[in-house]
Amino acid sequence: MPKKIPMRQCVGCREMKSKRELIRVVRSPEGEVPLDFKGKKPGRGAYLCPAPDCLARAKKSRALERAFSAPLPRRCSVLSIRLSLLHLPLQGGIDLLGQ
């Protein structure tokens, strides 16, 4: 029997994709909003495609705030998340270089 592939929905484009194709954004118990490459950080998570337009859609529709059931902290700008996404090496998927 083949192994099940975990699927998640991107909060930006709302497409269902493999969990490995998406990037997890977490709202930690302290209120920080880091990217979670390993999927192990505690807190409420939401998934985004690595495409900048998905982040723009999520920002416009306030999807991250709804997913976290809380407003984004002021010090966590969507621009910082966008810059983090732009620095990911993308080659046929997400190569996290050991992160």
97 within some domain: no
> Contact, 22 vs 8, CB < 8 A?
yes
96 in a structural domain: no
At 76 the pLDDT is 64
Task: Print the domain residue range for 34.
Answer: 7-86
Stretch among 12-26, 29-43, 67-81 having the lowest mean pLDDT: 67-81
Whether 48 is in a domain gets the answer yes
Burial of 75 (0-12, 13-18, 19+ CB in 10 A): exposed
Lowest mean pLDDT across 40-44, 50-54, 84-88: 84-88
Provide the number of structural domains found in the chain: 1
Share of the chain above pLDDT 90, in %: 31
Asked if residue 75 is part of any domain, the answer here is: yes
Most confident of 8-17, 22-31, 72-81: 8-17
Q: Give a yes or no: residue 95 inside a domain.
A: no
Query: Looking at the domain assignment, is residue 2 inside a domain?
Result: no
Output the domain CATH number for residue 47: 3.30.1230.10
Could you tell me if residue 81 is inside a domain? yes
**Predicted confidence band at 53 (pLDDT cuts at 50, 70, 90)?**
confident
93 within a domain of the structure (yes/no): no
Contact 79, 85 (CB under 8 A): no
